[in-house]
Amino acid sequence: MSTKNLLIELFVEELPPKSLKKLGESFASTLYSGLKDQGLLAEESAFKSFASPRRLAVHVTGVLDVAPDMEINEKLMPVSVAVKDNKPTDALRKKLAQKGRELLADLWPNAKSGPDKLYISNDGKAESIFLRTLAAGTMIKMGLQNALLDALEELPIAKAMTYPDPLGDGWATVDFVRPAHSLIALHGADVVPVSALGLQAGCETQGHRFEAASATIDIMDADSYEAQLEGEGAVVASFAKRRGEIARQLSEAAGKLNLKPIEDDALLDEVASLVERPNVLVGTFDEAFLAVPQECLILTMKANQKYFPLLDAKGKLTNKFLIVSNIKPNDASLVVGGNERVVRPRLADAKFFFDQDRKKPLDSRVLGLSRVVYHNKLGSQGERVERVQAIARSVGETLGGEELARLADRAALLAKADLLTDMVGEFPELQGIMGRYYAQHDGEHDDIAYAIEDHYRPRFAGDDLPRNRVGICVALADKLETLVGLFGIGQMPTGDKDPFALRRHALGIIRILIEKQLPLELGNLLTGAVTAFPSGLLGDAQAELETFVFERLGGMMREQGYTAQEVDAVLSMRIQNFSDAVKRLSAVRAFASLPEAPALSAANKRVGNILKKAEGSISDRVDAALLLEEPEKALFQALSEVAPNAQAAFAKGDYTASLQALARLKTPVDSFFDSVMVNAEDLKLRNNRLALLSQLHHAMNRIADISRLAS
């Protein structure tokens, strides 16, 4: 069957820039899937998405005029209900009449009429009557209409606008993300007469608001769309191409100045959603503004103006920035000058906030936190600071004694004070960062200043950890207080909802404990955090919180490439010192690769089951005089030699060597289970053999539960 390429474009008013990329991807992929589901695509069909500030479009190759006829097989009812005495029952006749196929009942048992046929087949439970029919293939007009409406329905629109229906009577309205003005549907060069959002499909669109060659563009055919828009319309329709062109121009413009633009993928996506024909220009601002912390200036330029600040080779901000313009005038000085005039008052505001904030010491703002609500059940930010202080002091005392505890206490006291500054009030993203600058201005110890900034870290996956031990103490304390407090009042995450980012807090604690190799135990940390809260404020959720943290640890380890069995073997031991987790997992992986591992894992599982079923207490001492059979003597002897070596390696932290030492036990363990009856009738023999297995079980499961590796 012949195919043609298809082009669909919806031309609208300016789309939300932060949503454009997702809107374009969704529109294209959903429409393509809709055509495919209806059989309208050739096997080699593919699609390309287009998304610019004023359009969503998709180009699909290999689209059929008519989908092939489709065979449909439908189960009607069991044979026992459908046929009696080799004749159709009334139930079967009624069912066929509902489907307009009653003639087939009269033709039974040779029930075939054209492509329609009744036949008997087993549905897995019983013999049943099936109806086979042939459905006519979907026409391109109907198929595209269905796919287009589905694609529009599935768009990830946060909030729709309501506007008058373009073809309505003045009363009818349309709901969509932005008012739509035209629709193109071209199958090859032919217009497919579909409609959507009150628009009838045609072949006409519009280009750039100011730089298009003409007010409207007639698209000749599906394949000429992109080239016509770029040539006649001065629009780069492909989001990916436009983004790549912006990145290229940014790099080129910065290179000419021996500078580099900040790297910010989210900003690049947003700017690519704001312009149709990118043109990068260089602007400057007064060097006096560089006295303001560069984080403030960078955020001001990025958030408010969508500029790309330029950094020197050392990563220091310069007084130059890049503008991504949507026009290409012969003389760009007016565009540059206009942007420079606009950015100046923004930078002046930042300088004013910075100067005003420094007139008041950071510690003088702490009392004001008592008037800021943290949570209606957990009190004010001031009360929270006191709890974080208590936890930070405890962690500091454990990690470094009295001096570290003192510094951690001071850093925790000041950590939230910058929330009351003008700069953070204007730019909440700068909390912590401004606290560090203001603390340094006040003459605070550098470790305290950097801890104020770092106590939020890690803020996201891959973020840096706190730079010093004071920051580590306060970061742990801040996250522990949040987790314990919110779990204690029942505010746990549910499903994909996690409004307080508790999963992120738990992962932050895990990363700090592991990557900083801290000798801290989870249970002790949680217990210490609980004691920082007033008695009776929290419910008992510590066990639930501990499980929550272990689940996050397990997920992190699996993401790092460890198998579910390996992770389960280690975490089922409920290890409290997370700094050991990676070493234990590596040891388990090395052990699992040994040829003896499967047999020993299975034997370990068997030993565990035997010990669980044993009645009464089991001694941990074996009486050598009661070892009667050679296999149990051999196992005892091997265990006596292997266990001390494994224990010595364990004590040194060489978990891999400790586990691998157990490989020598495979042969004696196999012989023991082949020849020795554990549950002997003689009680002394039975208890002695159970004691031997208990020693074996303890030796094998010191690092991980090896039985979890058994398939």
Q: Where are the domains of the chain?
A: 3-67+139-231, 70-135, 239-357, 363-560, 586-709
Q: Which fold has domain 586-709?
A: Isoleucyl-tRNA Synthetase; Domain 1 (1.10.730)
Q: Give the count of beta carbons closer than 10 Å to the beta carbon of residue 589.
A: 16
Residues of the chain with pLDDT under 70: 1, 106, 113, 169, 711
pLDDT digits over 360-378, tens only? Answer: 999 999 999 999 999 999 9
Name residue, tokens 């946060």: 158
Name residue, tokens 């689209």: 63
- Please state, in angstroms and rounded to a whole number, the distance separating the CA atoms of residues 478 and 456: 8
Give the dihedral sign, CA 254/255/259/262. positive
What's the pLDDT score for residue 74?
81
pLDDT digits over 414-458, tens only? Answer: 999 999 999 999 999 999 999 999 999 999 999 999 999 999 999
Task: Let me know: does 39 contact 92? Beta carbons within 8 Å.
Answer: no
Give me the residues paired with residue 217 across strands: 205
CB within 8 A of 624, min separation 6: which ones?
636
Burial 61-80 (b: 16+ CB within 10 A, else e): bbbbbbbeeeeeeeebeebe
Distance, first Cα to last Cα, the chain: 51
Task: Let me know: does 229 contact 207? Beta carbons within 8 Å.
Answer: yes
Which phi and psi angles does 347 have, rounded to 5°? -70, -35
Using the 8-state DSSP alphabet, how is residue 262 labeled? Answer: P
554's tokens: 């397990």
Which phi and psi angles does 529 have, rounded to 5°? -70, -40
Report the CATH number of the 363-560 domain.
1.10.3210
What's the pLDDT score for residue 79?
80
Give the dihedral sign, CA 524/526/528/530. negative
pLDDT digits over 161-191, tens only? Answer: 999 888 776 788 999 999 999 999 999 999 9
- Please state, in angstroms and rounded to a whole number, the distance separating the CA atoms of residues 679 and 82: 60
- Please state, in angstroms and rounded to a whole number, the distance separating the CA atoms of residues 552 and 661: 31
What's the pLDDT score for residue 92?
83
pTM of structure: 0.81
What's the pLDDT score for residue 401?
95
Task: Let me know: does 241 contact 22? Beta carbons within 8 Å.
Answer: no
Q: Give the count of beta carbons closer than 10 Å to the beta carbon of residue 337.
A: 11
**∠ CA 317-322-327, rounded to 5°:** 170
* Cα dihedral 544, 547, 553, 559 in deg (nearest 10): -100
What's the pLDDT score for residue 127?
83
What's the pLDDT score for residue 418?
96
- Please state, in angstroms and rounded to a whole number, the distance separating the CA atoms of residues 391 and 474: 8
Q: Give the count of beta carbons closer than 10 Å to the beta carbon of residue 170.
A: 6
What's the pLDDT score for residue 151?
96
Which phi and psi angles does 684 have, rounded to 5°? -65, -45
